[in-house]
Amino acid sequence: MQEEDNSIGFPEGRAGLTSRWGLRGAIAVLLIVAAGTVWFTNAWLTARFSETTRVRTELRSALYTGNLLSELQRTSVVPLLLARDPALISALSGNDFSGTSARLISAQKEIAAASIKLLDASGRVVGSTDRNLIGTNYVQEPFFVEALRSKDTVFTVSPSPQGVYEFTYSRTVVSDGRTLGVVVVGADLTRLVRSWAGISDAIAVTDSAGQIILSTEPRWRGLTLPEALAVRSAPSAIARAFQVTADWAATPADAYVQGRAVMQSETRIPFRGWKMIAFTTYESVRERVNAVLAMVIMGFAILLAAVFYLLSRRARVESAAWMRESADLRALNMRLTREIAERERMQKELRVAEQTVQQSSKLAALGEMSAGVSHELNQPLAAMKTYLAGARLLLQRGRAEEAQSSFQRIDDLVERMGAITRQLKSYARKGGEAFEPVDLRAALSSALVMMEPQLRSRTIRLQRTIPRYPVMVYCDRIRLEQIIINLLRNAVDAIKGVRDPAIEITVSSGSHAFLSVRDNGPGVSDLENLFEPFFTTKKPGEGTGLGLAISSGIAADFGGRLTAHNALDEGGRGAVFELELPLHDPGQKAGPRLAAE
In 3D space, the residue among 516, 522, 536 whose CA is nearest the CA of residue 574 turns out to be 522
> Does residue 593 register a pLDDT over 50?
no
Over range 16-24, report the average pLDDT.
Answer: 65
pLDDT at residue 466, rounded to an integer: 93
* Pairwise pLDDT comparison (559 vs 450), residue with the higher score: 559
Instruction: Name the pairing type of β-strands 178-186 and 165-175.
Output: antiparallel
Distance CA(101)–CA(108), nearest Å, equals: 10
CATH architecture, domain 434-582: 2-Layer Sandwich (3.30)
- Given a contact cutoff of 8 angstroms between Cβ atoms, the answer to whether 233 and 243 are in contact is no
> Does residue 231 register a pLDDT over 70?
no
Confidence of residue 18 (pLDDT cuts 50, 70, 90): low
- Given a contact cutoff of 8 angstroms between Cβ atoms, the answer to whether 202 and 262 are in contact is yes
Q: Please report, for residues 122, 565, 576, the alpha-carbon distance to residue 522 in angstroms, rounded to integers and kept in the order given.
A: 116, 12, 11
Least confident of 29-38, 368-377, 484-493: 368-377
- Burial class, 151, CB count within 10 angstroms (exposed 0-12 / middle 13-18 / buried 19+): exposed
* Pairwise pLDDT comparison (422 vs 487), residue with the higher score: 487
Exposure letters 169-195 (e unless 16+ CB within 10 A, then b):
bbbbbebeeeebbbbbbbbbbeebbee
How many residues are listed for the chain in this entry?
Answer: 597
- Given a contact cutoff of 8 angstroms between Cβ atoms, the answer to whether 181 and 253 are in contact is no
DSSP per position, 235-287: PPHHHHHHHHHHHTTSPPPSEEETTEEEEEEEEE-SSTT-EEEEEEESHHHHH
Instruction: Name the pairing type of β-strands 575-582 and 275-281.
Output: unpaired
- Given a contact cutoff of 8 angstroms between Cβ atoms, the answer to whether 199 and 189 are in contact is no
pLDDT at residue 3, rounded to an integer: 42
> Does residue 153 register a pLDDT over 50?
yes
pLDDT at residue 4, rounded to an integer: 42
What percent of the chain is predicted at pLDDT more than 90?
Answer: 9
Distance CA(231)–CA(219), nearest Å, equals: 8
Distance CA(225)–CA(210), nearest Å, equals: 7
- Residue 454: count other Cβ atoms within 10 Å of its Cβ: 18
Model confidence over 275-313: pLDDT tens digits?
888 887 766 666 677 777 778 888 878 888 887 777 788
In 3D space, the residue among 451, 479, 455 whose CA is nearest the CA of residue 378 turns out to be 451
CATH class of 84-192: alpha beta
pLDDT at residue 562, rounded to an integer: 92
Over range 26-51, report the average pLDDT.
Answer: 78
Confidence of residue 6 (pLDDT cuts 50, 70, 90): very low
> Does residue 247 register a pLDDT over 60?
no
Domain ranges for the chain, please list them.
Answer: 84-192, 434-582
Across the chain, what does the average pLDDT equal? 77
pLDDT at residue 161, rounded to an integer: 67
Distance CA(294)–CA(40), nearest Å, equals: 14
* Pairwise pLDDT comparison (477 vs 377), residue with the higher score: 477
Residues 6+ apart with CB under 8 A from 174: 83, 180
- Given a contact cutoff of 8 angstroms between Cβ atoms, the answer to whether 205 and 215 are in contact is yes
Over range 334-355, report the average pLDDT.
Answer: 81
Distance CA(311)–CA(13), nearest Å, equals: 16
pLDDT at residue 222, rounded to an integer: 80
3-state secondary structure of 189: coil
pLDDT at residue 517, rounded to an integer: 93
> Does residue 516 register a pLDDT over 90?
yes
Over range 246-272, report the average pLDDT.
Answer: 68
- Given a contact cutoff of 8 angstroms between Cβ atoms, the answer to whether 46 and 185 are in contact is no
> Does residue 133 register a pLDDT over 90?
no
* Pairwise pLDDT comparison (591 vs 488), residue with the higher score: 488
> Does residue 594 register a pLDDT over 50?
no
Model confidence over 485-508: pLDDT tens digits?
889 988 888 888 888 889 999 999
pTM to 2 decimal places: 0.41
Model confidence over 41-95: pLDDT tens digits?
777 777 776 777 777 777 888 888 888 888 888 888 888 888 888 888 888 888 8
Phi, psi dihedrals of residue 32, rounded to the nearest 5°: -65, -45
In 3D space, the residue among 494, 256, 512 whose CA is nearest the CA of residue 504 turns out to be 494
Over range 553-582, report the average pLDDT.
Answer: 85
Residues 6+ apart with CB under 8 A from 221: 163, 164, 165, 212, 213, 214, 215
DSSP state, 570? G
- Residue 257: count other Cβ atoms within 10 Å of its Cβ: 22
What percent of the chain is predicted at pLDDT more than 70?
Answer: 77
Least confident of 253-257, 347-351, 364-368, 387-391: 364-368
- Letter for the amino acid at 301? A
pLDDT at residue 14, rounded to an integer: 57
- Letter for the amino acid at 333? N
In 3D space, the residue among 156, 85, 73 whose CA is nearest the CA of residue 118 turns out to be 85
- Letter for the amino acid at 167? F
Exposure letters 491-516 (e unless 16+ CB within 10 A, then b):
bbbbbeeeeebbbbbbbebeebbbbb
